[in-house]
Every structure is written in C-alpha cells, then in structure tokens.
Structure 1
Amino acid sequence: MGNREALLAGAKRCLSEKGYGRTTARDIATASGVSLAAIGYHFGSKDALMNAALIEAMEDWGRAVGTALASTAGQRLTPEERFQLCWDRILETFAERRGLWKAQFEMIAQVDHLPEIASTLGESQKDARLGLSAMFQGKEEVPDTEDEILRGAFLQAMLAGVAAQWLVAPDQVPRGRDLFRGLQLLASGVLGSAAAPS
C-alpha cells in the first residue's frame, strides 16, 4: 500500500472513530503510519483528505450493501420484496458503520463554513442517486436519465432520514416492511387526493 492509500485508510479510520471535526492531521498521520508532510503532498490539505476519505467510505458502504444483496441475485423477487430486503440489508450495515454516518451528518452541518465540503458532496450526488436506483432495482447499473436520478433522489432522501432516526434511536427505526407500508400509505393519500374531484 502506498502513502496515498495509507492516508485514505487512516483518514477513514479516524472519521469512524473520532468524527470529522475532532480529527487532526496528526491523528491521520499516526493512524496511517505516514508523515504529516505526506498529507499536503498527496491531498493538499487535511480537509481535502477527509473529504476524499468520506466519499471513499460511502463507496465502500455501497459495495458492502451490494455484496449483501448479491446473495439474492438468483431469487425471483417482487418489487415489494426487493424494496423490503434492500432496506433490511441497509439497516444491518448501520451498526458496523455508525461512525461513518455520524461523520457524514457532522460534515453536512459544516457546509456553510467549509464550502469545499458542499462541493465534494454535491459532485458525488448524481452517482450516489444512480447507484441507489440500481441497487433497489437489482441491477448493476441504470442509465443516466432524469427518471433514474429522481428515483435515486427519493431513495437518498429516505436513506438520510432513516440514518438520522437510527442514530437517535436504533430500536425505533422502521424495518423494510414498515417503510414499504409507509410508502403505500403515502402514495394512496397523495394519489387519492390528486384523483379526487375538486
């Protein structure tokens, strides 16, 4: 492993264990076994390294969920079953990656003070949305279309909400079947009111 990769691995460990704001450049250097000067050489700044580490950690999380769902590849699942299964698999990953979710919310809270965070997170939005859309449809990838991005944006909004609920009260987080039922209730209310005569 080269210095750049070691720094990313160390930064991801620090994100998980200490969070975004409490991690120092020295913490990262110690965790990675690489000199402080290497941070500037490879990333320009500690913040740029932390941003890259968060994006990579979220990609690692997406691959972990994808691997967990790969076991269902041969199964014939209805859209309802796949939706519920995806959420249940996602919930299983929260416990092992609690630090990652805390760090992500911490970073989002800093966007007004650290514009590079907003830029970094904004640049990764589209890929994240397309990835979620593909995951929930049981596909390797989906086309870059407005509908797929909108599907992913809706799932991303749900994911952020579920993650926030889990961080606050893990025992109260709705499971996949509960989320599906909530979606049914919401859709019937919205579609019912849209169809009702005015």
Structure 2
Amino acid sequence: MGNREDLLDGAIRCLYEKGYARTTLRDIAGAAGVSMAAVGYHYGSTEALLNIALMRAIEEWGAEFGRALGGGEPGSDQPGSDQPGSDQPGSDQPGSALREYESMWDRLIDSVAAHPPMALASFEAFVQAQRVPELREQIAAGQREGRRGLAAMLTGTPEQAVSDDTARTLGAVQLALITGLIVQWLTDPDNAPSGADVVAGLRALAAGLQD
C-alpha cells in the first residue's frame, strides 16, 4: 500500500511547492509514487497527513532557523556576547557586538531568501494550528523554547539560567522582530529591510524611548 515515509516526504514537497490549501490527495500520491489509497491506509486522511507534514516542515525550518542565527565562526563574537548595541567588554574592536548583531540579521535574511517555501510553510502552519490542537501546541512549545533561546543568545547566558521575565520580554521582542522581518521578506523582498536597516531602526526606536 505504499511506504509511509515516502508519503510524508511527498506531502512535504507538495507543501513547499503548492502550499497547504492547494495540495490534493492526487498531488501527494503522485509525489510519493504510490496509489491514492495508500494515504488513507497509512494516515487515515489527506488532512491528517498534511498536518503531520506541517509539523515536519516546522522542524526543518526550525533547524535552518537555528543555523542562520548561530552562523558565527567558533571563537567569533556571537550575538550573545553582549547586549545588542553595546561593545563587548574587553574587546579591542569597538562596536564588534553591534556588527555581529547586524550580521545575525543578514544571515537570517539570506536563509529566508534561500528557503522561501520552507519559511512560508511555517506561516501556513500558524493558520492551520488554530484548528489542530496538536499542531498548535507544537508551535506554542517551539515559541516558548525560541524566546528563551534568543534571550540566552543575546545576553550570553545559558538557557537554563534565563529568567522567565527575560524570556518573556527580551526573548519575546526579539522573536517578534524576527517574525515580522520574515513576513516582509516573503511578501515584498525588494523593499524589505536589511540587517543594517533593522539595527538602525532599533537604535532610532531606543533613542525615541529615552526619558
């Protein structure tokens, strides 16, 4: 009746190529090289298979996302070396932490530009998750983990040492910025901000919020 993993791989390819709403049972069976009956046999329904495929797509994007954020060379200044916008203590290169923060944004942009279907699938998952509790919990858990990980990276603190308050503030704001940047690059890449634009905007925002 066909191979279960082949069907999942085929469904993921269809998600990337056609999107959730436009992918049909025939599309998945064709991509997997099996009969349409195999989908029902292994997964029960096309919707069930697509939801599992969305979960796998989220995992793949999460791995790519992590590589983009942590793309500095070993021993180089990571975004977590110090707070964004400040110089690393003891650094003989003024502004090195700021430059690395900008570089982090550029790596993220390059990743989105190189893998737009993967990034887009993650946003389709957000919509579908409102109707699929299991998918919604996976995304929510990933966001909680992501906020803490981002806060750890930005403060140079081990994740287990990041306070709930720091994850909920610094981590959440960084995640919101990243999500917003990805949306802009997916919808209007010619006019989307660069890493330098993001940093300049943050500095202007911070200056405007000073008492």
Q: TM-score range by the shorter chain?
A: 0.7 to 0.9
Q: Identity, % of aligned pairs?
A: 41
Q: How does 1:95-106 map to 2 (within 5 A)?
A: 95-106=113-124
Does the 8 Å CA contact 1:51/1:120 hold for their aligned counterparts? Answer: no
Find the counterpart in structure 2 of residue 142 from structure 1. 159
Q: Which residue of 1 aligns with 2:143?
A: 125
**How far, CA to CA, are the matches of 2:137 and 2:34 in structure 1?**
27
1:171 to 183, 187, 190: 190
Correspondence for 2:97: 79
- Structure 1 residue runs of 5 or longer lacking an equivalent are none
Name the structure 2 match of 1:8. 8
CA contact (8 A) 1:134 1:142 kept: yes
Cα-to-partner distance string for 1:19-78 (whole Å, 9 max, x where unaligned): 010112332232223454554555444334323323332332333344454452221354
Where do residues 16-35 of structure 1 align in structure 2 (5 Å cutoff)? 16-35=16-35
Q: 1:187 to 1:111 in 2, by over 3 A?
A: same
- Compared CA separation, residues 44 and 98, structure 1 to 2 (3 A): same
C-alpha distance after superposition, 1:166-187 (max 9, x if no partner): 1221121111121111111112
- Verify: 1:161 aligned to 2:180, yes or no: yes
**Judging changes above 3 Å, is the alpha-carbon distance between structure 1 residues 58 and 106 closer, same or farther for their aligned structure 2 residues?**
closer
Contact kept in structure 2, 1:16 and 1:97, CA below 8 Å? no
| Cα displacement (A) at 1:84 | 1.2
CA–CA separation in structure 2 for the residues paired with 1:133 and 1:37: 47
The amino acid that maps onto 2:189 is P
1:108-157 deviation digits (Å, cap 9, x = unpaired)? 34555x24454443343223333444565688x72264123543322221
Q: Deviations over 1:55-104 (max 9, x none)?
A: 33233233334445445222135432232112111111112322233333
Q: Which has the higher helix share?
A: 1
* Secondary structure class of the residue paired with 2:159: coil
SS in 2 for 1:125: helix
Counterpart of 2:57 in structure 1 is 57
Question: Aligned in 2, Cα 1:20/1:84: closer, same or farther, shift over 3 Å?
Answer: same
Aligned letter for 1:142? E
Q: How many residues align?
A: 189
Alignment of 1:99-114 (within 5 A): 99-110=117-128, 114=131
Structure 2: which 5+ residue stretches go unaligned? 79-95
Q: Is the 8 A contact 1:73 1:138 kept in 2?
A: no
Change over 3 Å in CA distance of 1:100–1:125 after alignment to 2:
same
* Residue 91 of structure 1 pairs with residue 115 of structure 2: no
CA distance in 2, matches of 1:89, 1:58: 19
Contact 1:79–1:137, Cα closer than 8 Å, also in 2: no
How high is the TM-score relative to the length of structure 1? 0.75
Between the aligned partners of 2:185 and 2:108, the Cα distance in structure 1 is 11
Q: Which one has a bigger Cα radius of gyration?
A: 2
